[in-house]
Amino acid sequence: MARKRHSDEDILRLLREIELKLTAGDDVASACRSVGISDATYYNWRRRFGGIVK
């Protein structure tokens, strides 16, 4: 299966969705699964784009 590449805008949108789910009480693994990424990908993206997400 080919890897899916996300644009920077898509990554920021997904990070915002995950942050909303986390504030609603979900855990990281289920929030990431609901948007279709792994929790390792979430942590890598957060390290890369962490200061940008608002």
**pLDDT tens-digit map of 38-52:** 999 999 999 999 876
Rounded Cα distance between 53 and 50, Å, is: 6
pLDDT score of 53: 57
**Which residues have CB under 8 Å from 29's CB, separation 6+?**
39
Please calculate the CA angle 46-48-3 and round it to the nearest 5 degrees. 85
Q: How large is the C-alpha radius of gyration of the chain? A: 11
Q: What is the mean pLDDT of the chain?
A: 90
pLDDT score of 54: 56
Q: Which residue type is seen at 29? A: A
How far lies 23's CA from each of 3, 8, 9, 18, in Å?
A: 29, 23, 21, 9
- pLDDT < 70 regions, the chain: 1-2, 52-54
